[in-house]
């Protein structure tokens, strides 16, 4: 170290610091959190591949860009979203991270439930959750999202409210020729015994380089039944770092399904903490990669109370030179007696140049538990292919049929019929472009 003048760590060139104007009007404690998150980020930088959690995913390519937030209101027409709309949905739309009441439709929201822009929720002090933030170098999505925190979607469902219509949260990323960054954020608080089904839908319009740092928090109250579907379909140029964390109270049920098709690079950190007795959790994921795309899934399920159960099903379909990573950690805490945890990760390789890393990790600190895990990597079944072709179906269609069949196990787990339908459509869009073997 020279004795010269450097006081603060160098600012990263690929991402500007959050503009001063972005702090205007926010509560002081939030401003302090945000400033400190940015400072710590500039000190540590992005995690490199020497860090265990980032062994297979190199973020250096991000540094070739100069990401900046899209300025001002971006024109997005309601028609652009029309193909995605679900029957009777309660739709909330953010464009490049900013809540857009003009594109949202909250008419079907039941009385008592609150669905609003996150900025508004922060403004009225509704977000104590944010205070719990601690910087973690391995979670750049969290750190950057905090440093840039502006807006997002806030949902609060009070005790006993049942929402039948699907909630549909859109995060649309657009832009001109510049590289853009956005920080979509969702906070969900569901009270005792309430029920809801929600789609968080990330859609890319355009193909310029984009970075999305996405954070989702789901609080599931005692006895609540929540279904959460996350759809990533962002197309070429998209880089997506996501952190999804859920906490479940006693007797609650949460089902989370993540579907990824399209995007240059994705990293999904998904964690569920089963804090209350008898909480049950289903975590499912489907990652479809092709070209040079990469999807890295890091999941963690914590069994922290007795009689909790989890079923985790992740499936990958990898074509071209695509890369898939699954690291699934299940931790049974000492209090997690009579835990029942099952995990599977299955991968279908459509090309011999595709690559997958699968790494199940069980850490068990209780003695009376049932835990199992299994992972497989395989190819399309020749015999099944022949059987289908022998019924007059051509090679390309037979191939699609088998690949779709492989994904069905995850799609069938989605309980809400409209959620299942929208996920199936997304898988089908991917399959339409599948080249014949």
List alpha helices for 154-236, DSSP H: none
Does 374 sit near other proteins (CB under 8 A)? no
Does 432 sit near other proteins (CB under 8 A)? no
* Binding region for other proteins (CB under 8 A) out of 51-59, 142-150, 250-258, 376-384: 376-384
Torsion of CA 365, 368, 369, 370, to 10 degrees: 140
Does 365 sit near other proteins (CB under 8 A)? no
Determine which residue in the list 205, 402, 421, 434 makes contact with other proteins, applying CB under 8 A: 402
Q: How far is the CB of 227 from other proteins (least distance, A)?
A: 21
CB-nearer residue toward other proteins: 48 or 379: 379
Assess contact for 327 and 362: CB atoms under 8 A: no
Determine which residue in the list 52, 125, 391, 432 makes contact with other proteins, applying CB under 8 A: 391
CB-nearer residue toward other proteins: 15 or 411: 411
Burial class (CB in 10 A: 0-12, 13-18, 19+), 199: buried
Does 425 sit near other proteins (CB under 8 A)? no
* Binding region for other proteins (CB under 8 A) out of 35-43, 168-176, 235-243, 393-401: 393-401
Does 404 sit near other proteins (CB under 8 A)? yes
Does 383 sit near other proteins (CB under 8 A)? yes
Cβ neighbours for 230, distance < 8 A, ≥ 6 positions apart? 199, 200, 201, 202, 216, 242, 244, 256, 257, 258, 259
Q: How far is the CB of 282 from other proteins (least distance, A)?
A: 18
Does 390 sit near other proteins (CB under 8 A)? yes
Degrees to nearest 5, angle at CA 148 with 262 and 29? 145
Helix or strand holding residue 326 (H, E): strand 323-332
Does 389 sit near other proteins (CB under 8 A)? yes
* Binding region for other proteins (CB under 8 A) out of 7-15, 331-339, 372-380, 381-389: 381-389
Does 393 sit near other proteins (CB under 8 A)? yes
Q: How far is the CB of 394 from other proteins (least distance, A)?
A: 5
Helix or strand holding residue 98 (H, E): strand 98-99
Torsion of CA 415, 421, 426, 428, to 10 degrees: 110
The tokens describing 163, both together, are 């929402």
Assess contact for 312 and 284: CB atoms under 8 A: yes
Determine which residue in the list 386, 429, 433, 436 makes contact with other proteins, applying CB under 8 A: 386
| Beta strand 114-117 pairing with 185-190 | unpaired
CB-nearer residue toward other proteins: 78 or 395: 395
Nearest-angstrom CA–CA distance, 45 and 140: 8
- What DSSP state is assigned to residue 53? G
Does 397 sit near other proteins (CB under 8 A)? yes
Phi then psi dihedrals of residue 329, to 5 deg: -110, 130
Determine which residue in the list 32, 71, 120, 384 makes contact with other proteins, applying CB under 8 A: 384
Does 382 sit near other proteins (CB under 8 A)? yes
CB-nearer residue toward other proteins: 254 or 403: 403
Size of the site for other proteins (CB under 8 A): 24
Burial class (CB in 10 A: 0-12, 13-18, 19+), 335: middle
CB-nearer residue toward other proteins: 362 or 401: 401
Nearest-angstrom CA–CA distance, 358 and 349: 13
CB-nearer residue toward other proteins: 228 or 406: 406
Determine which residue in the list 380, 401, 421, 431 makes contact with other proteins, applying CB under 8 A: 401
Binding site for other proteins (CB under 8 A): 381-384, 386-395, 397-398, 401-402, 404-409
């Amino acid at each position: 170290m020279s004795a010269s003048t450097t006081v603060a760590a160098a600012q990263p060139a690929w991402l500007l610091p959050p503009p001063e104007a972005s702090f205007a009007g926010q509560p002081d404690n939030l401003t302090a959190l945000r400033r400190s998150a940015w400072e710590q980020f500039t000190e540590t930088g992005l995690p490199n591949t020497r860090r265990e959690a980032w062994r297979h995913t190199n973020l250096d390519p991000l540094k070739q860009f100069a990401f900046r937030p899209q300025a001002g209101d971006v024109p997005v027409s309601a028609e652009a979203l029309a193909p995605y709309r679900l029957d009777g949905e309660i739709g909330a739309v953010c464009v490049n991270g900013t809540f857009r009441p003009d594109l949202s439709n909250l008419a079907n929201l039941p009385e008592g439930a609150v669905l609003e822009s996150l900025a508004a929720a922060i403004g009225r002090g509704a977000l104590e959750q944010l205070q719990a933030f601690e910087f973690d170098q391995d979670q750049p999505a969290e750190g950057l999202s905090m440093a840039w925190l502006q807006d997002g979607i806030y949902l609060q469902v009070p005790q006993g409210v049942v929402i039948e219509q699907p909630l549909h949260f859109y995060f649309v990323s657009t832009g001109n020729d510049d590289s853009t960054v956005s920080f979509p954020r969702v906070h969900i608080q569901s009270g005792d015994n309430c029920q809801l089904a929600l789609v968080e839908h990330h859609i890319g319009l355009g193909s310029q380089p984009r970075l999305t740092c996405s954070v989702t928090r789901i609080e599931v109250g005692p006895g609540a039944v929540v279904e959460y579907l996350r759809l990533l379909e962002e197309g070429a140029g998209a880089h997506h770092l996501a952190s999804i964390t859920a906490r479940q109270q006693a007797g609650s049920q949460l089902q989370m399904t993540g579907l990824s098709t399209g995007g240059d690079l994705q990293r999904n950190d998904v964690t569920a903490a089963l804090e209350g007795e008898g909480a049950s959790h289903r975590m499912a994921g489907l990652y479809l990669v092709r070209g040079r795309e990469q999807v890295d899934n890091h999941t963690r399920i914590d069994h922290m109370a007795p009689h909790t159960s989890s079923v985790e099903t992740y499936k990958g379909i990898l074509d071209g030179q695509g890369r898939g990573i699954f690291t699934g950690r299940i931790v049974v805490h000492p209090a997690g007696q009579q835990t029942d945890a099952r995990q599977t990760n299955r991968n279908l390789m459509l090309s011999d140049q595709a690559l997958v890393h699968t790494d199940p990790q069980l850490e068990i600190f209780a003695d009376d538990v049932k835990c199992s895990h299994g992972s497989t990597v395989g190819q399309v079944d020749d015999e099944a292919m022949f059987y289908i072709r022998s019924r007059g179906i051509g090679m390309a269609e037979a191939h699609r049929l088998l690949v779709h069949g492989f994904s069905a196990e995850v799609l069938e787990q989605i309980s809400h019929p409209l959620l299942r339908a929208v996920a199936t459509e997304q898988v089908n869009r991917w399959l339409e472009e599948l080249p014949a073997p």
